[in-house]
């Protein structure tokens, strides 16, 4: 059985998602399509778009950011 989601964990709209990752809404949209330009290829930003609305889960965004930062350090100096 899937546990219920915490309402705090749900980010609704590009503005809320962009604020969570510390970028503009335009950058958040681009990362959702292509992923960030990091030294190592990183997966796209985890967002969901059912019926025209966009949302993301804060926990997934934070895990994605952590993984992206770790991946960029692996290829760095």
| pLDDT attached to residue 76 | 47
pLDDT at residue 10 is higher than 80: yes
Closest alpha carbon to 5 in 58, 51, 48:
58
Dist CA 26 CA 4 (whole Å): 31
For the entire predicted model, the pTM comes to 0.75
CATH classification for the domain delimited by 9-74, as one of 3.10.450, 1.10.150, 2.40.128, 1.10.10: 1.10.10
Planar angle of CA 73, 75, 77, nearest 5 degrees: 75
pLDDT tens figures, 25-61: 999 998 888 877 655 556 788 888 888 889 999 999 9
Dist CA 41 CA 20 (whole Å): 21
Assess contact for 19 and 65: CB atoms under 8 A: no
């Amino acid at each position: 059985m899937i546990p219920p989601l915490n309402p705090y964990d749900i980010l609704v709209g590009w503005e809320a998602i962009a604020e969570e990752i510390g970028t503009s809404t335009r950058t958040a949209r681009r990362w959702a399509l292509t992923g960030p330009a990091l030294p190592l290829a990183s997966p796209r930003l985890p967002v969901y778009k059912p019926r025209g609305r966009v949302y993301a889960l804060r926990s997934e965004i934070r895990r994605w950011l952590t993984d992206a930062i770790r991946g960029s350090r692996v290829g760095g100096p």
